[in-house]
Amino acid sequence: MLRGTIITAAGLAVLARSVWATRWGVYHDDGSSAMWFLVSLFGGVLLLWGAAHFVPWMLAALDRRSTRFPRALRLATRRLGGGLARTSAGAASGMIVIATTTPLLILGPTMQAQNEGRYRPLARAGAAVIGADTATEPATVRSIIDQELPGVPLLTAGIRTLSPSFNAFDGTELVGETYVGGQALLRHLTGNPDIPYDPATAVLVSADIEQQGYIPIHYTLSGIDSVTYLPVISVPPPEPDWEALFVPEEAARTLGVTVTPNRFIIDPAHHQVSIAEEERLARRLLVFGFVHVERGFQPTTAWYVVAALPLLAVAAVVRASRSFAPTASCVGSARARR
């Protein structure tokens, strides 16, 4: 019991330190947050490991006081003393399994709901985006697409060609994916075949942001970071949560930037890419690029497997040995005292 008390106190101290370090008003970056999350898990393991030492003592106490219980409970608790080692192992293991899997069963659906709320589509609903990883591979990617999907019309686009990202509103907000292309691409992004095309005007497709006037475009030319301002108009998106910034290819060339089409888009109005076709393209594009078909948020059930791992691990330990490691010595000393 002394050993269990020391380990339990250590676990509580680690948890208290984690709570104090992550209190309200203290900023942590992703690395620091991950570190304190692991520290909290370590503190929880210590707490459970120490608490497991008290299981034999609790069961022995129930066995000694079983004569004071009602008849139904008396018959059940008397059986604890006959197999204290096996019962202690099962009780301690069950306690750890419940305490471990319960947070996982809570965190799994919670994180999945948060991911669904944060999810933003990478393309229009049903559209397929096939991209090349480097500027030297678009021809290879285009050849693979023609082999797997012959006759399917493609829209070409340069995505983030000017710089890694386009900063709008003086750099305080990031627009979604940025496309550089022509009139056909603009019609696809907006879902409006009658939208006017101006080679000097950018188009912001967003339901939450309205921007009129000029938008800052940050780009890199000959290793020098520069910024220019393009006229911009805002239009509503064809689907909820869809955001995109369209930059005419003529405007990009005016800046002296070479526009290399590195994305190929398949409009679902012309062809709906099936799961089998997506898998074939993914296998062929393994070292050249990627393929993404926008089907909305896809929930995962992997957290069910993670939650089941502690149960399977403890079941294997209990099956291999009659006594749980931290309770074995406690059980022996309890029997000696009896």
Report whether pLDDT(325) > 90.
no
Q: What is the pLDDT of residues 188-216, one digit of tens each?
A: 999 999 999 999 998 988 887 666 678 88
Cα Rg of the chain, angstroms:
31
Report whether pLDDT(316) > 80.
no
Alpha-carbon distances of 260 from 203, 263, 310, rounded to whole Å? 20, 9, 51
Q: What is the pLDDT of residues 257-298, one digit of tens each?
A: 777 788 899 999 889 999 999 999 999 888 788 899 998 888
Alpha-carbon distances of 15 from 30, 99, 199, 227, rounded to whole Å? 19, 15, 59, 48
Report whether pLDDT(334) > 60.
no
Q: Which residues contact 260 (CB under 8 A, 6 or more apart)?
A: 135, 138, 158, 161
DSSP state of 283: H
For residue 19, what pLDDT band results from cuts at 50, 70 and 90?
Answer: confident
Mean pLDDT score, 77-90: 64
Q: What is the pLDDT of residues 68-81, one digit of tens each?
A: 777 767 666 666 65
For residue 322, what pLDDT band results from cuts at 50, 70 and 90?
Answer: very low
Please answer whether residues 175 and 218 qualify as being in contact, where contact means their C-beta atoms are separated by less than 8 angstroms. Answer: no
State the pLDDT at residue 172.
Answer: 45
For residue 1, what pLDDT band results from cuts at 50, 70 and 90?
Answer: confident
Please answer whether residues 36 and 16 qualify as being in contact, where contact means their C-beta atoms are separated by less than 8 angstroms. Answer: no
State the pLDDT at residue 293.
Answer: 92
Mean pLDDT score, 87-102: 70
State the pLDDT at residue 278.
Answer: 92
pTM score, whole prediction: 0.62
Report whether pLDDT(169) > 50.
no
Q: Whats the size of the chain, residue-wise?
A: 338
Q: For every residue of 119-169, which 3-state class applies, written as one string? A: CCCCCCCCCEEEEECCCCCHHHHHHHHHHHCCCCCCEEEEECCCCCCCEEC
The Cα–Cα gap between 317 and 321 comes to: 6
- Per DSSP, what are the bridge partners of residue 227? 218
DSSP state of 65: T
Please answer whether residues 257 and 161 qualify as being in contact, where contact means their C-beta atoms are separated by less than 8 angstroms. Answer: yes
For residue 85, what pLDDT band results from cuts at 50, 70 and 90?
Answer: low
Ranked by mean pLDDT, the top range of 211-225, 229-243, 269-283, 310-324 is: 269-283
